[in-house]
Structures are given as C-alpha cells and as structure tokens.
Amino acid sequence: MNILSVILDKVYSWLALSGLKIVIGLLALWIGWKIVNKIIKTMDRILKRKEFDVTLTMFLNAFINISLKVLLIMIIMDYVGMKTTGLVTLIGSAGLAVGLALQGSLSNFAGGVVILLIRPFNIGDFIDAVGHSGNVEKIGIFYTYILTTDNKQILIPNGKLANDSIINYTAKDKRRVDLQFSVGYDEDVITVKNIIEEVVLSNDKILKDPEYFIGLSEHGDSSVNFALRIWTKTEDYWDVYYDLLERVKIKFEDERISIPYPQMDVHIKND
C-alpha cells in the first residue's frame, strides 16, 4: 500500500509539473497535424497541375506526410520531457538496415525521381539508351518501359538509365535525313546531282528550310559517292528516308545511271 502511494504521489507530482506542457503539447500536435495535412494537399495539387507521374506523386505525398508527422511527434515528446534519444537511434538503425538491403532498388528509385524531375524524355518519345531503342511506354518509380519496333516490351532499371547517355529522336520537331548514293566513275556529276535534286523536289514532306544539300562526297574504290542531306518533320523521317532510297534507285535505272558494286581484280602471274 505504501509503494502504491509513493507511485501515485510521483505521478501526481509529474502531472502537476508537466500537466500544462502536456496540454500545450497535445494542442500543438493537433495544430501541427492539421498543418501537415494542408501541406500534403497543396503539394498534391501542384504536382498534379504540373502533370507529374501518378506513382511518384503518391509516393512523395506518403513519404513527406510520414516524415513530417514523425518529426512532429518527436518534437512534442521532447517538449513534454520524454526521452527521444533511443527512438532516434532505433529509427536510424532500421533505416541503415533497410538501405543496405534495398541498395539496388533505392538506386533505381533515385534514378526514377531524377528522370521524372528532369524529363529527358516523355511517354511516347522514341529513345536509344542502355543498348535498347524504342518508344517510351511508361515511366515508373523503379523501371522505364520501352516498346521496341517489333513489339517487345523492355524494362530498363532507372538507376542505369539515369546514369547513361540517352538519345531522344523525337525531342525536336524536325530531323535531318543523311543518305549516300553511289554511281560509276563514267557518269556525269552534274547529271547525277540533277536527278537526285528532281527526286527531292518532288517530295512534299521535305522541308524547304533548312535547305537541302547535294554534293559529291567521296571518290571511292569503285564508285563516286554523293551525299544528300535534307530536313523533314520528325514524324515523317522514316517515310522520307525509304521513299528517297527507292525513288532515286528507280530514277537512276530510268536514266541508265550505272550503280557499281564492290569488285576485286585478280591478276594471275604465270612463272
């Protein structure tokens, strides 16, 4: 009975000394909780307005929400006189253990955040990265989904993607098509250039600005090579590319322009 009285006396004494702090702490916790919820709602609206990835938005909201509320609770506990050193140590140890166990996943997550913030490419863009090329189908937290031209889906870890060179073929609204045509040494240079120019001018998908270029680029081993550089809209790139190859070949045949093929002269010496 005496022990119970001693305990109750200590509890009453602590409440008498800390009662006001507890009331203030609970009030501060309630107000702080409301403020954190308001911050999360505001951040959610901003991210949605900027068209951030839905998965990333949800993760960031949850992560910041939990972090702020844990911090708020620890501040209130410290204010009312409760020891928080052990709790901080426990959280730190748990965080370190989880970090070591999920090192690869955390790297991919960090890469995903970087990609979604910097936006080196968007969904629908055609990219070449980490040895793969295709259209970006989805940008996730840990992986980016690529759809190849032969309809294969490739999942690229964001950690690798964020630390590798990326070629974005659809980032700009126009692209240059570079082609080379080879003819025999006996063909007239001006005639060949005129034929190529005629084909270029007949294609309405080729842009007038920047201006096209046709020129003799090389004296090859068995051919004279002509370079053609034209500009077109990005979405028309492959249509123009294949159309020019086909129509120049047909035009060369119509005009009887010789198209050489690699050959080797073998000289036999009799002793």
pLDDT, tens digit (0-9, with 9 covering 90-100), for 88-130: 666 666 566 655 554 556 788 888 888 877 889 988 999 999 9
pLDDT value, residue 87: 59
Mean pLDDT of 239-246: 96
Residue located via tokens 């992986």: 143
Cα dist from 157 to 120, 160, 183, 195, 201, whole Å? 15, 6, 46, 48, 45
Partners of residue 232 on adjacent β-strands: 175, 206
pLDDT value, residue 117: 79
Cα dist from 191 to 99, 216, 219, 220, whole Å? 69, 12, 17, 19
Name the nearest CA neighbour of 260 among 228, 229, 215, 222: 222
In sequence order, what are the residues at sequence separation of 6 or more whose Cβ sits closer than 8 angstroms to the Cβ of residue 160?
A: 111, 130
pLDDT value, residue 88: 62
For 29-47, write each residue's pLDDT tens digit: 899 889 989 998 988 888 7
Mean pLDDT of 246-269: 85
- Per cent of the chain over pLDDT 70 is 79
**Mean pLDDT (the chain, rounded):** 84
How many residues are given for the chain? 271
Pick the range with the lowest mean pLDDT from 56-65, 164-173, 243-252: 56-65
Q: Give the residue extent of every domain in the chain.
A: 14-101, 122-168, 174-254
135 has pLDDT over 90: yes
72 has pLDDT over 90: no
pLDDT value, residue 112: 82
Mean pLDDT of 126-137: 93
78 has pLDDT over 70: yes
* Cβ neighbours of 156 (radius 10 Å): 21
> Which architecture characterizes domain 174-254 according to CATH?
2-Layer Sandwich (3.30)
232 has pLDDT over 70: yes
138 has pLDDT over 70: yes
**Predicted TM-score (pTM) of this structure:** 0.62
Q: Where does the pLDDT of residue 14 fall: very low under 50, low under 70, confident under 90, or very high at 90 and above?
A: low
210 has pLDDT over 80: yes
**What CATH class is the domain 14-101?**
mainly alpha
> Which architecture characterizes domain 122-168 according to CATH?
Roll (2.30)
